[in-house]
Amino acid sequence: MNLQPLIDHFEGFIPFKETEKHVLEERVTQRSIRRRQTLLQEGFPCKHYSFVVEGCFRLFAVDQKGTEHNLQFAAENDRPADRWIADIGSFHSGQPSGLFIEAIEPSVVLQIEKQDLYFLYTNIPKLDRIFKVIIENKYVELQNRVLQSISSTAQERYLTFLEQYPTLALRLPNTQIASYLGITPEFLSKIRKDLASTQPHP
């Protein structure tokens, strides 16, 4: 198991001692995930926080009409908070999730189960602080997204997406991005054409 990406991630917040790294290693597992394989299915409790080492995932819901609604993406080279993916409510409550987590690409994750995470909070207190920062950042992001959904145009939401997920626009199919923005793939194509037409030509 290659724990170094996770160590590097945590040390972006606070340096770790060698003894703390050894404690962490004993509580983390690594998984290789196929494209379209799920980490979580609706109706089952979310049992892990998953840190993306390689690849890309989406967190999504399916409505009664069978339409998918992407809520979050997580990929290996995005912002620190966007490298984690979980249904946080289900993880902490143990209740069945109403969401799915699916790999968009072949991926590798490092996972921490709830009892192991609580053990780490006790034995490496700085991890408690790190996760609080990560969750607070995701909460602020969610607030901003809800505000955008009621006050911004689709084009403005797309531009925010490009800022938030700067590398994913080239990796994700239009259908996945459109689902995240709450628009059709056809309308997303129109937005892209309109934006391209306003760019200055060399």
What is the residue-level pLDDT of the chain in tens, covering all 202 positions?
A: 889 999 999 999 999 999 999 999 999 999 999 999 999 999 999 999 999 999 999 999 999 999 999 999 999 876 666 899 999 999 999 999 999 999 999 999 999 999 999 999 999 999 999 999 999 988 898 898 888 888 999 999 999 888 888 788 888 989 999 999 999 999 999 999 998 888 655 5
**pLDDT given at position 171:** 87
What DSSP string describes 135-198? HHHHHHHHHHHHHHHHHS-HHHHHHHHHHHSTTGGGTS-HHHHHHHHTS-HHHHHHHHHHHHHH
Counting beta carbons within 10 angstroms of the beta carbon of residue 187, is it exposed (0 to 12), middle (13 to 18) or buried (19 or more)? Answer: middle
User: CA of 32: how far to CAs of 51, 117, 170, in Å?
Assistant: 12, 21, 23
Token pair, residue 3, equals: 């724990």
CA of residue 135 relative to chain centroid, distance: 11
Candidates 1.10.3720.10, 2.60.120.10, 2.60.40.1530, 1.10.260.30; correct CATH number of 4-124?
2.60.120.10
pTM for the structure as a whole: 0.90
pLDDT recorded at residue 169:
82
d(CA 188, CA 170): 14
